[in-house]
Structure 1
Amino acid sequence: MLERIIRAVAGAFVLLSLVLSQVHDPMWLYFTAFVGLNLFQSSITKFCPLEWGLKKFVFNK
């Protein structure tokens, strides 16, 4: 369940930043790049800040 939440949040952030880059300011694409880099580093290091936060504050594991 935790993995599905992380994927949903990452996907929502990417889609939101793409929409904002089209209707507001192209600088929002930097946020898209940040999300992508975070996904990439978490695949290598096995550390995801969102997973850590959800475990600590929501799921209390």
Structure 2
Amino acid sequence: MTTGRIVRFMAGLFVLLSLALGVQGSPLFVSPWWLAFTAFVGANLLQSSLTRWCFMETVLRKFGVQSGC
């Protein structure tokens, strides 16, 4: 997998997990504060689309993961 695919996979996973933990109707509900994590992930996706820089991609490249989408 390339850095772009890993970033998109992790963002989707984090959003779904934080929704499961933050929405009251979910059987995994813990606290509505988990929705703040969903907002954080969304803000980071927005920031990376505007600046063309993503911290997670930088870290993945340092671990030797192939760059690309």
| TM-score calculated relative to the size of structure 1 | 0.90
Cα RMSD (Å)? 1.6
Fraction of identical pairs, as percent: 52
Aligned-pair CA distance for 1:15: 0.3
Tell me what 2:13 maps to.
Answer: 12
Code of the residue aligned with 2:32 in structure 1: it is P
Structure 1 pair 60/5, CA: closer, same or farther in 2 (3 Å)?
A: closer
Equivalent residues of 2:3, 2:66 under 8 A apart: no
For structure 1, the 5+ residue unaligned runs are none
Q: For residues 39 and 54 of structure 2, what CA distance do their matches in structure 1 show? A: 16
The counterpart of 1:30, out of the listed 23, 27, 36, is: 36
> Which structure is higher in helix share?
1
Q: Which has the larger radius of gyration?
A: 2
> Could you tell me which residue of structure 2 aligns to residue 46 of structure 1?
52
How far does the alpha carbon of each residue in 1:2-61 deviate from its partner, in whole angstroms, 9 at most, with x for none? 211110000000000000113100000000000000000000001101101100124288
| Count of aligned positions | 61
Task: Tell me whether 51-60 or 4-13 shows the greater mean CA deviation.
Answer: 51-60
**Which structure 2 residue ranges, 5 or more long, are not aligned?**
24-28
